[in-house]
Amino acid sequence: MLMKMTKKIIAIDADDTLFDENTAVRHFMNNHYGFKHTAKDYLVEGPFDNYWENIWHKNSAETTTMYEEFVVSSYKENLKPITGALSVLNELNKQYDLVIVTSRDQRGIKMTHSSLALHYPNIFSDVHFVPLWGDGSEATKAKICSEIGASYLIDDCFEHCLLAAEAGISAILFGDYGWNRQQNLPKGIIRCKDWEAVRRALCGK
Ligand SMILES: [Mg+2]
């Protein structure tokens, strides 16, 4: 019997890796809360968790409420693709099996599928929603990546990359963001500041 050629699997995050959530959050908050923040304001260094607290100068509960307003708004539904992603994904798709691994919750399922169909048609073979937000759930992106046999994870969140690397999955910390720029990277994680850098890392050119 002939062996079926299997491609290595790359798991890819959605927000701020494929879709520009950071810019959309800024526009939403400027329009709804009267801020006058610039792109530069949204790149200041700070922790990933509740990152916007540092920008909006609101407390944790207020920050969460404001972000939740954004999540159910048309801004979240209409995120723009990250520059350069599509052409690199088309190239990667020849050599790899590309899947989405996102921690968007139930409210994001339908919009995720429609955004992918609109901006990244025929690229991804599967979409996994990781219930990080579940009560007491032990789910992690690293566990899902292990279960589906992913060789790589591309994600802008250092914590997800770290857990993946610890599970033996090669992690690519994506983007040059205020919440990931300051990290020192352990073995198993490389940084790619944009999709061209991902192309060089995974296609070797
Ligand atoms: Mg992300």
The model's pLDDT over 89-148, given as tens digits with 9 standing for 90+, comes to: 999 999 999 999 999 988 899 999 999 999 999 999 999 998 766 565 678 999 999 999
136 CA distance to ligand 1 middle (Å)? 21
CB of 198 closer than 8 Å to CB of 88: yes
Q: Over the stretch 163-190, which tens digit does the pLDDT of each residue have?
A: 999 999 999 999 999 999 887 899 999 9
pTM for this predicted structure: 0.94
How far is Cα 150 from Cα 25, in angstroms, rounded to an integer? 30
1 C-alpha to ligand 1 centroid (Å): 41
Spacing, Cα 52 to ligand 1 middle (Å): 14
* Closest CA relative to residue 9, chosen from 121, 109, 130, 92: 92
Q: Provide the H-helix boundaries in the chain.
A: 21-33, 53-56, 60-71, 74-77, 85-95, 109-119, 141-148, 158-166, 195-203
In this structure, the answer to whether residues 58 and 96 fall within a common structural domain is no
99/14 same-domain check:
yes
Query: Which CATH number characterizes residue 15's domain?
Result: 3.40.50.1000
Domain carrying residue 54: 22-77
Determine the average pLDDT of the residues in 15-28.
Answer: 98
In a domain, residue 2? The reply is no
Number of CB atoms found within 10 A of residue 134's CB: 10
For 5, the token pair is 């050629």
CA of 103 to the centre of ligand 1 (A): 8
How many structural domains does the chain have? 2
Same domain? 126 vs 89: yes
Residue 108 lies in a domain: yes
Q: List, in order, residues 6 or more apart from 166 with CB less than 8 Å away.
A: 142, 188
Same domain, 88 and 188: yes
Residue 96 and residue 56 share a domain: no
Same domain for 33 and 110, yes or no, is: no
